[in-house]
Amino acid sequence: MEEQIQTLLNEINAYDASDKQALEAFRMKYISRKGVVSGLFEELKKVPVTEKKKVGKILNQLKQTAEAKLAEFTQKLDSHASPRVEIDLTLPPVPNQIGNLHPLSLTQYRIIEIFERLGFNVADGPEIEDDWHNFSALNFPENHPAREMQDTFFIEKKGHAGSSQDMLLRTHTSNVQIRMMENQKPPIRAIMPGRVYRNEAISARAHCFFHQVEGLYVDKNVGFADLKQTLYHFAKEMYGRDIKMRFRPSFFPFTEPSAEIDISCLICNGAGCNVCKYSGWVEIAGSGMVHPNVLRNCNIDPEEFTGFAFGMGIERVTMLRYQINDLRLFSENDVRFLRQFQSVI
């Protein structure tokens, strides 16, 4: 057995582990529980008592030599894998690169902040909607142009019995207004920001998906003056006290009377540009008093309660806020464009 130990000692001293694979092979062969050294310790039990002390001494030396060799190989490989790097502590530090919010998110958060101060809650709803909540409950006639394929993305949902139901990507966040009035009794005061979809040609002024924020206030004795003062306050908080604003009569199926809201163009300062169609005014919202039929569809008595509603495109508000003249920049993910808003956080 002494000769066997001496042979193994010579092998260990001559072994060279040039990589981690050879290092693992060395460990498995000599030091592991099933290795040759552990096997020799088991055979030591069979050695005569008179020789056991002598054999045990050289066997311990073999084990210590193998463990020392393993530690030497490990240190050698680690030093080659991780070369020492000299650091000059006198150099100035490299600043951390942090991300920044998207300009649409910045504007949406600012809109929410303004209306929350007026007592409006924030509500949300599904982007895939049925016809009732997106059109019918909002007093859209069956033959209204907005129901046609050129404006709305329709999808088909299969029922349990094989029947199909017309579903669509919501064209406005008014569907959230309907769901709130169906499930909540007045007073109701909330805004509904979210993404909407329309089948439109993509240009500097329009896109097939964009973001809206709509507002709803239903209570007793709510009048058009409340709507005007609310939107006047919003415009001045968003764009400054010097902003000019005007209301134009309009028509929407879900409001009566209805009005469109324009503000003076902040991109050209009234001189005329592609965003304001060279008129000096930019439409930012549609608004009006909630139509009695809409209240009835949601089981709210129009003889007791009245309300106003408004809706605006967040992209349009953002373009005016930061003087951006092309709506497509918001969805192109151009880092050069997005990095301009780091200082606005």
Helix or strand holding residue 262 (H, E): strand 255-264
Residue 76 lies inside a defined structural domain of this protein? yes
Local confidence band at 113 (pLDDT 50, 70, 90 cut-offs) = very high
- Give the pLDDT of residue 106: 92
Q: How far apart are CA 298 and CA 108, in angstroms?
A: 28
230 with 143, same domain: the answer is yes
CA proximity to 108, closest of 236, 213, 205: 213
At residue 104, does pLDDT exceed 80? Answer: yes
Q: How far apart are CA 53 and CA 61, in angstroms?
A: 13
Residue 90 lies inside a defined structural domain of this protein? no
- In order, the DSSP letters of 281-293 are EEEEEEEEEEPHH
199 with 310, same domain: the answer is yes
165 with 236, same domain: the answer is yes
At residue 345, does pLDDT exceed 50? Answer: no
Q: Has this prediction a pTM greater than 0.85?
A: no
65 with 201, same domain: the answer is no
Query: What tens digit of pLDDT does each residue of 121-169 get?
Result: 999 999 999 989 999 999 988 887 767 755 888 887 665 555 456 789 9
255 with 308, same domain: the answer is yes
At residue 300, does pLDDT exceed 90? Answer: yes
123 with 25, same domain: the answer is no
Total domains, the chain: 2
Residue 159: Cβ within 10 Å count: 8
Go through the chain and tell me how many residues it has: 345
Q: What percent of the chain has pLDDT over 90?
A: 43
- Give the pLDDT of residue 139: 92
Residue 89 lies inside a defined structural domain of this protein? no
Q: How far apart are CA 229 and CA 226, in angstroms?
A: 5
Residue 96 lies inside a defined structural domain of this protein? no
- Give the pLDDT of residue 311: 95
107 with 178, same domain: the answer is yes
Residue 127 lies inside a defined structural domain of this protein? yes
Print the domain residue range for 338.
103-344
41 with 184, same domain: the answer is no
Residue 242 or 308, more confident: 308
Residue 86 lies inside a defined structural domain of this protein? no
Q: Find the mean pLDDT for residues 282-303.
A: 94
Residue 264 or 192, more confident: 192
Q: Find the mean pLDDT for residues 59-85.
A: 74
294 with 210, same domain: the answer is yes
- Give the pLDDT of residue 82: 56
**Domain boundary pick from 17, 46, 81:** 81
Q: How far apart are CA 8 and CA 2, in angstroms?
A: 10
CA proximity to 206, closest of 338, 330, 334: 330
H-assigned helices in the chain: 2-14, 20-26, 36-43, 49-81, 103-117, 131-134, 174-183, 224-239, 292-297, 314-322, 335-338
231 with 245: CB under 8 angstroms?
Answer: yes
Q: How far apart are CA 102 and CA 104, in angstroms?
A: 5
Residue 92 lies inside a defined structural domain of this protein? no
- Give the pLDDT of residue 287: 95
Query: What tens digit of pLDDT does each residue of 301-331 get?
Result: 999 999 999 999 999 899 888 888 888 999 9
Residue 93 lies inside a defined structural domain of this protein? no
At residue 268, does pLDDT exceed 70? Answer: yes
296 with 192, same domain: the answer is yes
117 with 36, same domain: the answer is no
Q: What is the CATH classification number for the domain harbouring 318?
A: 3.30.930.10
Residue 181: Cβ within 10 Å count: 23
Mean pLDDT across the chain: 85
Helix or strand holding residue 259 (H, E): strand 255-264
127 with 257, same domain: the answer is yes
Local confidence band at 85 (pLDDT 50, 70, 90 cut-offs) = low
Q: How far apart are CA 275 and CA 316, in angstroms?
A: 9
Residue 198 or 206, more confident: 198
